[in-house]
Amino acid sequence: MELSKRRLLSGIAALTAGAALIPVVQAQPGPAPRNGDAAISRGDKRKRYGMLIDLRRCVGCQACTVACTIENQPPLGQFRTTVSQYEVSNVAALDAPASLFMLPRLCNHCAEPACLDVCPTGATFQRDDGIVVVNNDWCVACGYCVQACPYDARFINHETNTADKCTFCAHRLEAGLLPACVETCVGEARIIGDLNDPASQISQLLRTHESALKVLKPEANTQPRVFYLGMDEAFVSKIDGNPAQRTLLGDDGKEIAHDH
pLDDT of residue 95: 61
Task: Provide the residue-wise pLDDT of the chain in tens; the chain has 260 residues.
Answer: 444 444 433 443 443 333 333 232 333 333 444 554 544 688 899 999 999 999 999 999 999 999 999 999 999 999 999 998 887 766 555 566 667 889 999 999 999 999 999 999 999 999 999 999 999 999 999 999 999 999 999 999 999 999 999 999 999 999 999 999 999 999 999 999 999 999 999 999 999 999 999 999 999 999 999 999 999 888 888 665 443 344 455 556 555 554 44
Q: Which of 238, 171, 227, 197 is nearest to 50 (CA)?
A: 227
Angle at 245 between CA 241 and CA 247, to 5 degrees: 170
pLDDT of residue 245: 40
Cα–Cα distance for residue pair 104/116, rounded to 1 Å? 23
pLDDT of residue 232: 86
According to CATH, the topology of domain 49-232 is: Alpha-Beta Plaits (3.30.70)
Residues whose CB falls within 8 Å of the CB of residue 65, separated by 6 or more in sequence, listed in order: 79, 81, 82, 83, 181
